[in-house]
Structure 1
Amino acid sequence: MSQRSTALAPFPTPRPAADDGGMVVVAGVPDVPAWMVELCRRSGRSVRIEPVPGPVEDRIGLVATLAGRNVLVAGPHDAHPRPGTARVVAAVRDLPSDAAVLTEAAAAAAALDAVVVPVHGVPLSFGERSVGLTEALARGHRVLDAAVERLGADVPGLTVLPRLLRVRPHELVGEELEADLLVLGGPRPRIPARVGLVGCSAVQHAPCPVLLAARPA
């Protein structure tokens, strides 16, 4: 994985969010996933396309200005779909703060006929004998148990496969991710707007479309 990072870089003031909770798709027009267009049509949400900027720094900057909106960063991934059952991976750090991540993941999974894989990372910096490791693991399991319960309530019958991984959170969303869609929390609409380490890593390195769920300030 590239060591280059633009994490925590400040960008201009966020744009006002749409009232209908619409989706902003950062993509070239041919790369907009058909399932996303259909999902928004069925839910009555608007879809607006923003052209993909060239340098990755500009792409992250655009995502920052869209803080407070649902943003799908698409690309040429759909030309090479994964074999087998579709997977929507939802990166969950904490609940209820990441509730929007689960809501968007469940809706996308229903549109894709996919399973949802909520993931939570516990860093390897917690050694096997580290003080706090037991609590960190227990907390991770509690977060995932709550995620499974919430997803099941949102979409009864949805297949949910939770995973607790010993990695840093930003490593969950890199090049080795096995997913057809990655969902994580987007930047909060603050001034200056910032895209955090996990979001930057996802936009730069994820091998699939990335959906950044809108979060309040």
Structure 2
Amino acid sequence: MQLAQVREATVPRKDGAKTVLRTLADRTGETAHVTVLSGTTLYGLCECESPHHGTRAVIDINTFPLHATASGLCALAFGPSNLHAIALGSLEEFTANTPTTEAKLTQLIEVVRETGISHSDQCYEIEIQGIAAPIFDHTGHLAGAVAVACVASRFTPELAHTIKTELLIAARDITHNWGGTIPRPIEQSWAKTLTKMTKQETAS
């Protein structure tokens, strides 16, 4: 936490994320939040709950399990390689959907790398769907993730499309505010993901 506080004192990351989060929460109608990676730990930085619904996801944790949250999966997919061993050393089962084997976790990470977006389907909390996208800073390395936590009963294909579309906008904006640039391979993955979603929407 001390490292996170020092980083926050020298780089006003909250200020670079809060406005973006408010827009993201308003456009999706769900809770938006940002995490930052410090060492091998993923810390919560700030969050914004949407006023659109009386029932909404509440972010009440300070550190995010790498294997069980959408933000954590982003860190495993795009962060330092040593995070994988850290995650495998603590595969705590939070729900029946939590990946608790190396094979299952690896499978999820591969999907994140392919799409550029992570999805935690009630892996940390029952009735909560999490979707996240990576964010970067001036170093060119992963700085954390921006995510939307959605009440599962409201999670539809249409809402998933909206969340993913708005997440990518938010990830680019926060990355820009933090002096970074989204890596080209991730931008390419995002473009393919959006194209695929649009084709599926048209076909349906």
Q: TM over 0.5, yes or no?
A: no
Q: For CA contacts below 8 A with separation 6 or more, give which structure has more relative contact order.
A: 1
